[in-house]
Amino acid sequence: MLFNSAPYIFGFLPIVVLVYFLLNRQHWVQAAKWWLAAASIVFYAWWNVANLPILLVSLLVNWAVVNAIWRANEVSDSAAKRVLIIGLVFNLLYLGCFKYYDFLARSMNSTFGAALPLLNVALPLGISFFTLTQIAYLVDVRERLVKRQKFLNYALFVLFFPHLIIGPILHHKDMMPQFATLRSKVFSLENLATGLLLFGIGFAKKALIADPLSAYVRFYFDDTPILGTVEAWQVALAFTCQLYFDFSGYIDMALGSALMLNIRMPENFNSPLRARSVIEFWSRWHMTLTNFLTTYIYTPILYAFRTLSFRKSLIAVFITFFIAGIWHGAAWTFILFGAMHGVALTVNHIWRRSRWPMPAIVGWALTFLFVTCTFVLFRAKSVHDAGKVFAGMLGLNGTAALNRWPGSPDLLGYSMSHAGTGLDMRVVFLVGLSAFLVFAFRNSGELAARFRSHLGGPRGNG
C-alpha cells in the first residue's frame, strides 16, 4: 500500500488511527498494540501478499536469535558473540538471497561462462530497511543496551507500518519507550494537526513535483539512445529533483502518519541540497542511514585496527560507503555510486584537515555538481545507460539530439521549445520550482516545528 494512494489516505490510515485511540480510551492497551501490529501486516501484504511470509520469517528468526543472545549474555561474552554472528550471517544471507543472488549469478555467468541458475524473484518491499533495523537490534542486545522485551513490543518496533517500506531506519531507543509510555495512548489534536501538515507537504512533494518529473526522467534514461548536452544536463537535474522530492516526500508522509498515532520517528532529511561539502551532505541526506553506517559499520572497522590513524580512518570511510553503495542496490551502478562517494568523502576529510579555505558558494557548487553526477549512476539501469547520460553531459553528442518527450505539452511551440536547444519548458519550470522551494523556504521539519509552536505545543522535529 502506498502512502499517496486513495485506499491509504481515505481508508487505512483514518481507520487505524480511530480504532487505535478508541482501544486505548477503553484502557485496552495491549489490544491497541496488537491492532497496530496487525494493521502493519495488512499494510505490507496489500502490495503483494506473497512477500508477507518473507517478512514474518525474518521477524520470527530474529526474535529467536534475540532471545538466544539474552540467554547467552548470562553465560559468557564469547557465547553471546557466537549467537550474534549466527544472527548476522542469517540476515546477510537472507537479504543477499533476494537482493544480490541474481546479480552475482549473472556476473559470474557472463564473466566466467558459468551456468548458475537464476531465482528471478522480485525484491520484497522494504527488506533492506527491516533487515538493517533488526541487525542493529541484535548488536545492541549483544552489547546489553536493550532490556528484555515481550514479543509484541519487538514485533511492533519492526513492523510499524510508517517506516516499514522506505524508512527511516529505526533504533529501539527512539521508538520502544514511545510505544510503552501512557502519554502516547492519549489522543492529541496537536499531533494530529501537525501530522496532517507533514503528510500534506509530503503528498504535495510527490504529486506535484516528483511524479510529473518521473515520466520525463524515464523517457531520457531508459528509452532515448543519444542525449545532447542540454538534454543530458536537464535530465540529470530533473532526476536530482525527482529523487529528493520523491524520497523526502515519502518520509514526510511516514513521519506524519506516525505522528497522528503520537509516535515521533527520527528526522531523515535536513535540506541536503544546501550542503556545502559531501560530509555535510551525508549528515543531512538519509540521516538514519548515515547514523547506522557510522555506528554499525564505520566504528567497528576502526576498532578492528590495532592502532588508529588518520589514514586508517579514511580507509574505514571508503569501505563504509562502498558497502552503502552495495546496500542501495544489486548493480554495478550502485557499486560505483558507493565507491565515488567513498572517494569524495576521503578527499573531503583530507581537505578539512589541511585547513585550506573554501568559499561557501564554491563548496556548495562542487557538492551539488558531484551529487547530481553520481545520482546519474543511482538512476541508470546499467553502466551503459549511465555512460549515455555522461557522454551527453560532456558534450560528445552536440548541444541537442532533438529528442521529443511525448508527455510534454507543446506550450511554446516545437520550434521555440526544442529545435536547436533540447529544452523542455515544463521540465525547466519544475526544476526551477524545485530549486525555489529548496533554497527559499524552510524544510518540512522546520515548518512542522513552527506550526506546532503556533499551536502552543512543544517543539519537535516533526
What is the residue type of 231? E
Which grid cell sits at 95? Answer: 537479504
Which grid cell sits at 369? Answer: 555538481
Contact between 232 and 392 under an 8 Å Cβ cutoff? The reply is yes
Half-sphere exposure of 324 (CA within 13 A, CB side): 28
d(CA 353, CA 72): 44
Query: What are the respective helix, strand and coil percentages of the chain, to the nearest 5?
Result: 75, 0, 25
Distances (CA, A) of 429 to 25, 133, 220, 235, 452: 49, 39, 17, 13, 32
Residue 456, sorted as left (phi over 0), alpha (psi -120 to 50) or beta, turns out to be left
Which grid cell sits at 309? Answer: 590513524
d(CA 292, CA 169): 8
Which residue do the cell numbers 498494540 mark?
A: 33
Buried b (16+ CB within 10 A) or exposed e, 98-130: bbbbbbebeeeeeeeeeeeeeeeeeebbbbbbb
| Annotation marks residue 341 as catalytic | no
Alpha helices in 49-100 (DSSP H): 52-73, 77-99
Please identify which of the residues 27, 171, 286, 328 carries the catalytic annotation: 328
What is the residue type of 3? F
Secondary structure (3-state) at 38: helix
Closest CA to 408 of 427, 389, 421: 427
Active site residues: 328
